[in-house]
Amino acid sequence: MSKNSRTVVHVDMDAFFCAVETLHHPEYAGKCLIVGGYKDAPRAVVSSCSYEARRYGVHSAMPIAQAARLCPHGIFVPPNMALYKEVSAKLHALFRQIAPVVEPVSIDEAFLDMTGCEHFYPDLAGMGRSIQEQVYKTTGCTASIGIAPCKFLAKLASDLRKPQGLYIITEDNVDAVLLPLPVNKLWGVGEKTTQALARHSIYTVAELRTKSQAWLQSMFGSAGAQLYALARGIDDRPVEPPGPAKSIGHEVTFAVDLPIRKALNEELPAIAQAVARRLQRDGRYGRTVMLKVRFSDFTTLTRQHTLPNSVVSVTDILRAATSLLKNVKETKPVRLLGIYITDLSKHQQLSLFADPRKQKIEQLLRRLKQQDPNCPITTATAFSIRQTGKRKEGP
């Protein structure tokens, strides 16, 4: 651990969606609550489940159908994202009051850099309990908290005593926590690295610790240095407030896998439309169009193309995405399709040969959308795309 010790707090809400549902439906309290898509939807997975449901082996990302088999008496409710976002906004506002630097991780999770604020609390445990109390007072939901000198250990700690847990990792107990862990608990260690380490009979952090940095680097390149550090509880990544979004996009998982041609003709336009709307709403321009395709066997590919000028309209986005998708040679059915725009900018380079009328219309639409995101005025192209999408959703 470094000399200039930091105090990093990781706050992770306990079964957040379920907790929010229970706030509004007190009758759910103490029951097996499972939030996810509708029970009969073929693709629905568990988004969140109460600790009672977890006792039956239900966990998030499990298909709902399987959860229903494991826990037949469970209460299944579809997610109400608008509601969760509302509570999340309060939660993150509270974080910004508590800590000088906050890095939101997801809707219900954040890192708080409390370095220099220690003297406000009797000790680290007092700090943790105080944050837990404030979170409960503000949201009515409980949180688990990990406190450590770095992000990686703080996140590890918050997971150790869930729910309503509080765990503090210091120099004194870091080895006790870290050494017995399987290597895949280390940040950035996925399936491939785990397998590669297993080939050298390295399964735990303790075993990883016996390896030299030079050896790890020869095996994993620059990631080897990171492994070496993480195995010693060293993680220099700062707690960083969110920068401007790096990409704006939209993706859709289909109810049933589609042949690629059908996905292209029937689904891509609506996705392009959603992306164009988001770009308009945020007042951003981007030059790189990225297409993401996930096939039935979960293999995923991305293709991107950088245009000379920023894409503005749904037609621009659709044209670029269509040509990217047409170049995909796979024949497997498509499970998911997404379009992302990167190289984002608030500025728009204008073109010498653009149609001035088209530019004026786009500029006007953008202004209307920024004033009122629900403004129904749109171009005929976009309108016809939306109509096609609507017809398809019907019976």
Partner 1 sequence: MEFTCRHQALMQGLTAVERAVASNSPRPVLAGIYLEAKDNQLRMVATDLELSIECYVPAVVIEPGKTVLDGKVLSQIVRKLDSEDVAYTSIDAAMGRIEGGKARFSLHTLYADEFPTLPELPNEKFWRISQNVFKRMVKQTIIAVSTDEAQPSLNGVLLEVENDELRMVATDINRLAFKRAKLAEPTEALTKHIVPARTLQELTRLLSGEEDSELEFMIAGTQVVFKSGSVTIISRLIEGEFPEYRRAFPQTQPTRFRVNRTAFLAAVERASLIARRSVPPVVKLVATADNLSVSSQEAQVGQVYDEVGGVNDGEPGEATYQAFYIMEALRAMDTEEVIMEIGEGLRQGSMRPVGESDYLYVLMPVRVG
**CB 105 → partner 1: shortest distance, Å?**
22
Whether residue 44 contacts residue 64, with contact meaning beta carbons closer than 8 Å, is answered with: yes
Amino acid in the structure at residue 304: Q
Residue 382 belongs to what H/E stretch? helix 380-393
Q: From the candidates 21, 52, 103, 109, give the one annotated as an active-site residue.
A: 109
Identify which of 213, 206, 162, 167 has the alpha carbon closest to the alpha carbon of residue 183.
Answer: 206
User: d(Cα 85, Cα 142) in Å, to the nearest integer?
Assistant: 16
Whether residue 39 contacts residue 95, with contact meaning beta carbons closer than 8 Å, is answered with: no
**CB 327 → partner 1: shortest distance, Å?**
12
Of positions 212, 345, 384, 387, contacts partner 1 by CB under 8 A: 345
Of positions 346, 357, 374, 393, contacts partner 1 by CB under 8 A: 346
Q: Binding marks (x or -) toward partner 1, 348..367, rule CB under 8 A?
A: xxxxxx--------------
Q: Which is nearer to partner 1, 3 or 347 (CB)?
A: 347
Residues 259 to 318 in contact with partner 1, rule: CB under 8 A: 283-285, 305-309
Q: Which is nearer to partner 1, 190 or 242 (CB)?
A: 242
> Could you identify the residue written with the tokens 């996140």?
155
User: d(Cα 341, Cα 292) in Å, to the nearest integer?
Assistant: 11
Alpha-carbon 230 to chain mean position: 23
Q: Which is nearer to partner 1, 198 or 350 (CB)?
A: 350
Q: Binding marks (x or -) toward partner 1, 155..194, rule CB under 8 A?
A: ----------------------------------------
**Which residues lie across from 342 on neighbouring strands?**
288
**CB 361 → partner 1: shortest distance, Å?**
15
**CB 300 → partner 1: shortest distance, Å?**
24
Please confirm, yes or no, whether 86 is among the known catalytic residues: no
SS3 35: strand
Vertex 94: Cα angle to 92 and 24 (nearest 5): 75
Which residues are the active-site residues? 109
Interface residue list for partner 1 (CB under 8 A)? 283-285, 305-309, 323, 343-353
